[in-house]
Amino acid sequence: MKHTKNDLIFLLLAGGQSVRMGKEKAFLPIGKNSNFITKLIQKIKFFKKEVYLSLRSEQTKDYISFFPEDKIITDQNIPVFGPLLGLFSAHVLFKNSKHHYNALFVLPVDIPYIKLKTINRLINLYEKKPNASGFFYQSSTGLEPLCGIYHHQTLDKWLKDFETQIDSGLSLQKKITNLEPKPDFILLPKVEERYFQNINTEKDLEFFKK
């Protein structure tokens, strides 16, 4: 698919090591016929947006039965780590293939219980201001960088700054806070915080099963 300059594309981050869980979180079951990744894909499809999956290269073989291989983005040879590597890898791929997307809506694979209205609120803001540098939630625990919208120019600037060693700081929270022009921040409603939490351990998972 040839993207246009107005495209908002979803990027589902699943390339973490899942150290605390001890296994791939994407495949943890939700009910009898679903798991983390299928639940999130189902929610994203509600918005009729294109979705890509960010992975480490060695994970691909485990995911192709759940996700089209041509929509899988594996980590590029960029010396950064964590979610920023997933963001940079997607941006570089789209840029090199001349996919002129406008912004990425990033979601981690370990928040399958997120509410549709939580996602939709950010999309509505984006549609009103598609050229803003980004859109992010503030919760009671602080800035939330992993459910947010990143404008392509934001990622382009960060990547260029990193390559020229203007900015070597890798904290997403710090980078977002220091963005110019300032991104839009929105308060996450208290009643939605429970469903916004990352599920990192078996204990976290049991909390949602109660």
Reported as a single tens digit per residue, the pLDDT across 81-127 is: 889 999 999 999 999 887 889 999 999 999 999 999 999 999 999 99
* pLDDT category of residue 18 using cuts at 50, 70 and 90: low
Residues 6+ apart with CB under 8 A from 141: none
pLDDT for residue 200: 64
| Residue 123 identity | I
113 and 15 Cβ atoms separated by less than 8 Å: no
pLDDT of 40 over the 90 cut = yes
What is the percent of the chain with per-residue pLDDT over 70, rounded to a whole number?
A: 85
Q: How sure is the predictor about 15, in pLDDT bands with cuts at 50, 70 and 90?
A: low
What's the N-to-C CA distance of the chain in angstroms? 42
40-46 average pLDDT score: 94
Among 15-24, 26-35, 88-97, 110-119, whose mean pLDDT is lowest? 15-24
Beta-sheet strands, E only, within 93-192: 103-108, 134-139, 142-151, 184-187
User: Is residue 76 over pLDDT 70?
Assistant: yes
pLDDT band, residue 209 (cuts 50/70/90): low
Place of tokens 């609120």: 121
Tell whether the model's pLDDT for residue 72 goes beyond 90.
yes
Residues 22-49 have a mean pLDDT of 86
Token digits of residue 147:
């459910």
- In the structure, what pLDDT confidence band is assigned to residue 21 with cuts at 50, 70 and 90? low
| pLDDT at position 202 | 66
The pTM for the full model equals 0.91
Distance CA 138, CA 151 (A): 18
* Mean pLDDT along residues 2-27: 70
pLDDT for res 201? 67
Residue 209 host element (H or E): helix 202-209
